[in-house]
């Protein structure tokens, strides 16, 4: 418990529906994405539920239609102040925290880091899109980077459970909304940048600036920045990091963590990696050049924490897959194979199809859709990528959310007019599996590890992997 003036504060929240007696309610200003929502509008509900204090931007008190008799904290940066309060209220976090930002690869990288730590005998955890995952604590999360109250509660619980290392995903939303400002990050990585979240950020430059916040503000001066070789943005990142006196490690061909050679072997790849004077051969049971890059990034972040390079490379040789990331889910009786991937962005879809092509002797079939209430501009782009790279495409529903699913499909089909349209996702998967010949491969893209489908505000149980397995077993989707 904490004290605010003479009030006892027993909890924190920015969601008025979660306020209980004795809570501080953060009436945060509207986000860039939705300026129609203002935290001040929810103060009356928070008061009715027993809020003991309020936090908000300057002018909050004057904006309230009725006077209140509880303390009001007005702050120029209320989101940052909420992060500070949460860090103080839920005191404690793992001793070593590393973070990953970028458009793609974050989930795989933090999970690879957790696996490497486990192989080294360390007590580590990952936190992000796949939730909180450690040997002693698992927890689902609603967002890749949760709000600071949920985040710091999880950090405290991990530390209390004896977890002393954490790898977490740093989303652009989380960074811009200052959710990570009080997390003690000692090493941070940038993966890549491609079109995403332009329903939230004004443009790609604003999106990149949100990512930079991890290196400019969240990580204290003197941390380690892990940067990709060959990216158009690496020089800009390097300049920011040098100004902050960060140590810099690069990954990729010719980098400090160097991909010396990559060979496709069966349903995996053989990597020759050089790392700070050590070399090793890794037989990776994963498909795709992008996964090789993810492994290099993970190795770099573990090395940034002071581990022995030889031991880290040996541990990386034990890596396994990540749920919903080019996950092999089954084979048809005639030999046609089925994969599920989370690729719901243009470049991610391109990478997934491209990764599967060398492993496909016959046709490469793709089933995908686009989510509602998100960046509409990427829909025809993804259609064009499927039309260009796949041999046969089915356009179906993803998570329509509040939008008309048929209109979403129509926008996708502008990019791939020859595709087959089947709105029902289960039927789309069943149809594509029925098309599989012995040497064909099916990619079911967009939802990956997700276990629900959101339609008109209601989330129904739906897991691409389970549906595909049922169809392969001869059952109805």
Name the percent of the chain lying above pLDDT 70: 95
Tell me if the pTM is above 0.85. Answer: yes
**Chain centre distance of CA 210:** 15
Question: Any idea which residue has 């890794």 for tokens?
Answer: 282
Domain match, 111 and 240 both: yes
Last residue of a domain, one of 292, 316, 340: 316
User: Mean per-residue pLDDT for 373-397?
Assistant: 96
Residue 18 lies in a domain: yes
Answer whether residue 198 shows pLDDT above 80. no
Query: CA torsion 408→374→396→102, rounded to 10°?
Result: 140
Give the per-residue pLDDT at 6: 64
User: Mean per-residue pLDDT for 306-323?
Assistant: 96
CA distance 184 to 98: 9
Give, rounded to a whole angstrom, the gap between the first and last alpha carbons of the chain. 50
Answer whether residue 199 shows pLDDT above 50. yes
Domain match, 331 and 369 both: yes
Domain match, 138 and 219 both: yes
Q: Which two tokens stand for residue 370?
A: 């686009």
Per the prediction, the chain carries an average pLDDT of 93
Residue 84 lies in a domain: no
Residue 322 lies in a domain: no
Domain count, the chain: 3
> The domain spanning residue 32 has which CATH number?
3.40.1390.10
CA distance 449 to 242: 37
pLDDT in tens, 58-74: 999 999 988 888 999 99
The confidence band for 196, taking pLDDT boundaries of 50, 70 and 90, is low
State the residue range of the domain holding 251: 90-316
Last residue of a domain, one of 44, 76, 108: 76
> The domain spanning residue 423 has which CATH number?
3.90.190.20
Least confident of 31-40, 117-126, 172-181, 239-248: 31-40
For 103-159, give the DSSP string: SSSHHHHHHHHHHHHHHTT--EEEEETTEEEESS-EE--SSSS--HHHHHHHHHHHH
User: Mean per-residue pLDDT for 224-250?
Assistant: 95
Q: Which of these, 69, 68, 66, 77, lies nearest to 26 by C-alpha position?
A: 77
Q: Answer yes or no: are the C-beta atoms of 172 and 207 closer than 8 Å.
A: yes
Answer whether residue 381 shows pLDDT above 50. yes
User: Mean per-residue pLDDT for 338-358?
Assistant: 95
Q: Answer yes or no: are the C-beta atoms of 96 and 158 closer than 8 Å.
A: no
The confidence band for 369, taking pLDDT boundaries of 50, 70 and 90, is very high
Last residue of a domain, one of 295, 316, 337: 316
Give the per-residue pLDDT at 103: 84
Answer whether residue 421 shows pLDDT above 80. yes
CA distance 88 to 285: 42
What are the φ/ψ torsions at residue 265 (nearest 5 degrees)?
Answer: -135, 110
Domain match, 213 and 267 both: yes
- Higher-pLDDT residue of 220 and 204 is 220
CA distance 147 to 99: 16
Answer whether residue 284 shows pLDDT above 90. yes
Answer whether residue 211 shows pLDDT above 70. yes
Residue 230 lies in a domain: yes
Domain match, 461 and 365 both: yes
Alpha helix stretches (DSSP H) within 328-450: 346-356, 378-389, 405-413, 425-435
Residue 455 lies in a domain: yes
Domain match, 360 and 221 both: no
The confidence band for 33, taking pLDDT boundaries of 50, 70 and 90, is very low
Domain match, 41 and 116 both: no
Domain match, 311 and 362 both: no
Residue 451 lies in a domain: yes
CA distance 216 to 185: 12
Q: Which of these, 329, 334, 299, lies nearest to 316 by C-alpha position?
A: 299
Domain match, 126 and 48 both: no
Q: Which of these, 332, 384, 331, 328, lies nearest to 355 by C-alpha position?
A: 328
> The domain spanning residue 180 has which CATH number?
3.40.1190.10
Answer whether residue 194 shows pLDDT above 90. no
Beta-bridge mates of residue 271? 262, 282
Q: Which two tokens stand for residue 254?
A: 């010719």
The confidence band for 200, taking pLDDT boundaries of 50, 70 and 90, is low
User: Mean per-residue pLDDT for 370-382?
Assistant: 94
pLDDT in tens, 131-171: 999 999 999 998 888 999 999 999 999 999 999 999 999 99
Q: What is the 3-state secondary structure (H, E, C) of the chain?
A: CEEECCEEECEEECCHHHCCCCEEEECCCCCCCCCCCCHHHHHHHHHHCCCCEEEECCCHHHHCCCCCCCCEEECCCHHHHHHHHHHHHCCCCCCEEEEEECCCCHHHHHHHHHHHHHHCCCCEEEEECCEEEECCCEECCCCCCCCHHHHHHHHHHHHHCCCCEEEEECCHHHHHCCCCCCCCEEEEEECCCCCCCCCCCCCHHHHHHHHHHHHHHHCCCCCEEEEECCCCCHHHHHHHHHHCCCEEEEECCCCCEEEEEEEEECCEEEEEEEECCEEEEEEECCCCHHHHHHHHHHHHHHHHCCCCHHHHHHHHCCCCCCCCCCEEEEECCCCCEEEEECCCCHHHHHHHHHHHHHHCCCCEEEEECCCCCCCCCHHHHHHHHHHHHCCEEEECCCCCECCCHHHHHHHHHCCCCCCEECCCHHHHHHHHHHHCCCCCEEEEECCCCCCEEEECCEEEECCHHHHHHHHHCCCCC
Domain match, 390 and 444 both: yes
Answer whether residue 37 shows pLDDT above 70. no
Alpha helix stretches (DSSP H) within 161-288: 172-176, 204-213, 234-243
Helix (H) or strand (E) holding 200: none
The confidence band for 39, taking pLDDT boundaries of 50, 70 and 90, is confident
Q: Supply the Cα-derived Rg of the chain in whole angstroms.
A: 23
Residue 209 lies in a domain: yes
pLDDT in tens, 261-276: 999 998 899 999 999 9
pLDDT in tens, 399-416: 999 999 999 999 999 999
CA distance 395 to 383: 8
Give the per-residue pLDDT at 3: 47
Least confident of 50-64, 127-141, 183-197, 339-353: 183-197
Residue 51 lies in a domain: yes
Domain match, 261 and 352 both: no
Domain match, 105 and 47 both: no
Q: Which of these, 173, 104, 116, 112, lies nearest to 141 by C-alpha position?
A: 173
């Amino acid at each position: 418990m904490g004290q605010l003036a003479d009030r006892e504060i027993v909890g924190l929240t920015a969601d008025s529906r979660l306020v209980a007696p004795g809570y501080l309610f953060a009436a945060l200003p509207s986000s860039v994405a939705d300026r129609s929502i203002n935290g001040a509008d929810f103060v009356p509900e928070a008061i009715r539920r027993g809020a003991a204090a309020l936090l908000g931007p300057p002018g909050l008190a004057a904006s309230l239609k009725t006077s209140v008799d509880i303390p009001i904290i007005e702050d120029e940066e209320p989101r940052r102040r909420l992060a500070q309060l949460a860090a103080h209220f839920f005191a404690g976090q793992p001793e070593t925290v590393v973070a990953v930002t970028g458009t793609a690869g974050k989930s795989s990288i933090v999970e690879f880091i957790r696996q490497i730590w486990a192989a080294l005998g360390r007590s580590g955890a990952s936190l992000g899109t796949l939730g909180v995952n450690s040997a002693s604590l698992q927890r689902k999360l609603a967002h890749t980077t949760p709000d600071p109250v949920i985040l710091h509660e999880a950090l405290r619980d991990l530390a209390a459970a004896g977890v002393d290392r954490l790898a977490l995903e740093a989303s652009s939303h989380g960074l811009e909304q200052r959710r990570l400002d009080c997390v003690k990050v000692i090493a941070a990585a940038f993966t890549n940048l491609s079109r995403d979240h332009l329903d939230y950020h004004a443009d790609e430059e604003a999106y990149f600036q949100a990512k930079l916040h991890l290196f400019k503000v969240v990580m204290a001066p003197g941390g380690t920045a892990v940067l990709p070789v060959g990216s158009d943005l690496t020089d800009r990142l390097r300049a920011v990091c040098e100004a902050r006196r960060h140590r810099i490690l690069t990954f990729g061909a010719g980098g400090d963590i160097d991909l010396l050679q990559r060979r496709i072997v069966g349903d995996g790849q053989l990597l020759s990696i050089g790392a700070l004077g050590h070399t090793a051969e890794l037989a990776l049971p994963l498909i795709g050049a992008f996964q090789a890059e993810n492994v290099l990034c993970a190795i770099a972040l573990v090395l940034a924490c002071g581990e022995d390079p030889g031991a880290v490379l040996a541990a990386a040789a034990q890596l396994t897959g990540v749920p919903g990331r080019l996950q092999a889910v089954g084979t048809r009786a005639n030999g046609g194979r089925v994969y599920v991937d989370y690729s719901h962005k243009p470049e991610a879809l391109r990478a997934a199809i491209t990764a599967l092509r060398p492993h496909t002797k016959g046709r490469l079939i793709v089933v995908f859709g686009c989510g509602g209430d998100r960046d509409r501009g990427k829909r025809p782009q993804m259609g064009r990528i499927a039309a260009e790279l796949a041999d046969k495409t089915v356009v179906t529903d993803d998570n329509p959310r509040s939008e008309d699913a048929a209109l979403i499909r129509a926008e996708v089909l502008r990019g791939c007019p020859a595709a087959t349209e089947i709105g029902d996702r289960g039927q789309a998967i069943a149809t594509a599996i029925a098309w599989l010949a012995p040497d064909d491969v099916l990619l079911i893209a967009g939802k990956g590890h997700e276990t629900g489908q959101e339609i008109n505000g209601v989330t129904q149980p739906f897991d691409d992997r389970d549906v595909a397995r049922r169809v392969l077993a001869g059952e109805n989707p």
